[in-house]
Amino acid sequence: MPSLWIQNARVIDPASKRDSVGDLFVKNGKIVASLSAADKKSARKIDAEGLVACPGLVDIHVHFREPGQMHKETIETGSRAAAAGGFTTVVCMPNTSPVADTAGTIQLIKDSIARTACIKVHQTGCITVGMKGQALAPIGSLARAGVVAITDDGDCVQSNELMRRACEYAKMFDLPLMDHCQDHSMTVGAVMNEGVMSTKLGLRGWPNAAEDIIVSRNVILATYTGARIHMQHISSRNSVEILRRAKSRGVSVTAEATPHHIALTDDQLATYDTHFKMNPPLRTEEDRLAIIEGLKDGTIDIIATDHAPHTDYEKDKEFDYAPNGILGLETALAVTLDVLVKQNKFKLTTVVDLMTRKPAAIVGLDVGTLAEGAAADICLFDPNEKWTYDAKAGFSKSANSPWHGKELKGRVKTTIVDGKIVYDGKTIR
C-alpha cells in the first residue's frame, strides 16, 4: 500500500485537540508524524487546500437489512453509501430477518461484512429472543460473538423487569444497551406526532409522552443497575430535559439525535409525503430547538443517522400503511453542517466531535481520531461546496430520502479507510 501525503488541509481532530492547516501523513494504514524523504517521493499526494480533513465519520445507528431484507439494502450497498457520506465506521441494528439474536446469525453477518464491506461495519445483538420482548437473548453468547452493543431497536422492551435484567447482563459483559424509547400502549395506530398538524391531517397522533416515559424508565434503571444505557434518536423536548437532569447527577446515560430531527418538523407532512414518515416522528419546532440546545450543552452526545432504507413500492402507499424510515448516510454531514454550523453557530470542531470521537466512545471502538498511530480512517470534505442530492443515483439500494432533489452545502470529496482510498468523490473503489 503506497503512503499518503495529504497537503494543505484544515485538519480537525477533536480527540487530540488539533485544528490547524497542515499536512497528514499515512504509512502502512496508520497515521504517522511524518514520512521519510524516500517515502515522500513515492507517496500518493492529495492537495486538500480548502478542504477539511477529519477522522472518518462514525455512525452507531444504521440498518443494512442483511440478512433477509436485501431488496432494500445489503452490507455491500449500505457500506458504499456510508463511504460516500464520509463514514468509515458504522454499527448495524439487529432487526434483520432472522433477527440477530444468536451467535450463529452474528457470525453470518460478520462473514458477509468481511466479504463485501468497503468500510468498518460492526454489529449489535438483540436484547430479547426474536425481538419479542418476552425472554432475554443469550447476551453472553452474543458478547463472545463480537457484538458491540445490545438493542431491540424498533421494538422497545416494554417489560420493566425484563429491561432491568437486560441491564444487569449488559453491565456484566461490559456492553452498552441501546434503547428505542417508545411506550407501545400510547402509540397504537399512531403515524405522526400528536399535535396541531395531526389534527389538521386527520392522522392518528403519537404523543411525546410515549418517548418521555421510557426515557425516564431508563434513567431509573441506569441509576439502579449501573448499566450504560444509550437513548436512540431522541425527538421530544421533555426527554431532553429528563436527560439533562439525569446527567447532572452523573447517571450513566447517553443519547443521540438524527439529522432529520434537528432539521425538519411535522409541518413537512402537510402533503402526506411518506418520505417524511419516521419513527420516532418528526415533532414540533419547539422540540427541534430543544434537541439542538441539547446538542449544544452536551445533554445529547452524538449525531446518528438511523439510516433506514425502504423500496419505492413500499413507501408509495397510503400514509397509514407506508413503513417508517429514511435514508441518512449520504446527506448526514451536509444537513448537520447546515443546521448546526450555519443556522446555530456551532463550531465546526464541535460538529466533527459529535460525528467521530464521541460515537466511537459510546460503543468502545478504537476509531475517531487522527492521533499518531491511529488507523488512517479519514474524511476529506469541502464545507462550502453546493450540490444537489439525487437519491436515485446514490449508492444505497433504496432512494427514500426527503432530501432528494434538494440543494445541500458541504460535500465529501474523499473517504479513506486504513490508508486506502475507498471513495474519491465519484466512485467507490
Predicted TM-score of the model (pTM): 0.97
Q: Is the separation of the CB atoms in 246 and 219 below 8 Å?
A: yes
Q: For 284-294, what is each residue's pLDDT tens digit?
A: 999 999 999 99
Mean of pLDDT values over 44-49: 97
In a domain, 428, yes or no: no
pLDDT in tens, 297-335: 999 999 999 999 999 999 999 999 999 999 999 999 999
Rg of the chain taking only CA atoms, in angstroms: 21
- Distance of CA 237 to CAs 20, 31, 291, Å? 36, 41, 7
- The domain tally of the chain equals 2
User: What is the rounded distance in angstroms from the CA atom of residue 25 to the CA atom of residue 48?
Assistant: 13
Q: What is the DSSP string of 314-376?
A: HHSS-TTTSPP----TTTHHHHHIIIIIIIT---HHHHHHHTTHHHHHHTT-S-S---TTSB-
| pLDDT tens, position by position, 149-183 | 999 998 999 999 999 999 999 999 999 999 999 99
Residue 2 has pLDDT above 90, yes or no: no
Report how far residue 386's alpha carbon sits from residue 365's, in angstroms, rounded to the nearest whole number.
Answer: 32
**Cβ distance 294 to 240 under 8 Å?**
yes
In residues, how long is the chain? 429
The mean pLDDT of 178-191, rounded to a whole number, is 98
What pLDDT does 379 receive?
98
The mean pLDDT of 229-256, rounded to a whole number, is: 98
44 and 61 assigned to the same domain: no
Do 23 and 80 lie in one domain? The reply is no
Is residue 368 one of the residues assigned to a domain?
Answer: no
CATH of the domain at 411: 2.30.40.10
Percent of the chain having pLDDT more than 70?
Answer: 100
Binned at pLDDT 50, 70 and 90, residue 21 comes out as very high
- DSSP-based three-state secondary structure for 1: coil
Question: Is 13 within a domain?
Answer: yes
Nearest alpha carbon to residue 149 among 78, 80, 232: 232
| β-sheet bridge partners, residue 123 | 92
Q: How confident is the model at residue 258 (pLDDT cuts 50, 70, 90)?
A: very high
Burial 285-318 (b: 16+ CB within 10 A, else e): eebbebbbbbbeeebbbbbbbbbbbbbeebbeee
Residue span of the structural domain in which 217 resides: 57-362
Residues 6+ apart with CB under 8 A from 338: 263, 408, 409, 410
* Same domain, residue pair 63 and 42: no
CA 124, 254, 293, 366 torsion-angle sign: negative
Q: What's the CA gap between 187 and 359, in Å, rounded?
A: 29
Catalytic residue flag (residue 390): no
Q: Are residues 341 and 315 in the same domain?
A: yes
Q: Are residues 15 and 91 in the same domain?
A: no
Same domain, 136 and 75: yes
Looking at the fold, whether 162 and 186 belong to one and the same domain comes out as yes
**Residue 366: which pLDDT band, with cuts at 50, 70 and 90?**
very high
The answer to whether position 394 is within a domain reads: no
> What DSSP character marks residue 56?
P
The full DSSP string for 276-299 is G--SSPP--HHHHHHHHHHHHHTS
Share the mean pLDDT of the chain: 97
Assigned C-alpha cell, 24: 497528514
The reply to whether 24 and 116 lie within a common domain is no
CATH number, position 147: 3.20.20.140
Q: What pLDDT, on the 0 to 100 scale, is given for residue 1?
A: 80
> How would residue 340 be classed by pLDDT, with cut points 50, 70 and 90?
very high
State yes or no: pLDDT of 50 exceeds 90.
yes
Residue 429 has pLDDT above 90, yes or no: no
What pLDDT sits at residue 194? 98
Cα first-last separation, the chain? 14
- Same structural domain, 336 and 418: no
Q: Are residues 166 and 218 in the same domain?
A: yes
Q: Interhelix angle for 237-248 vs 285-297, to 10°?
A: 20
- What are the grid coordinates assigned to 420, written together? 486506502
Contact 396, 74 (CB under 8 A): no
Catalytic residue among 152, 155, 301, 306: 306
Does 11 share its domain with 73?
no
Indicate if 410 and 287 belong to the same structural domain.
no
Q: Is residue 395 part of a domain?
A: no
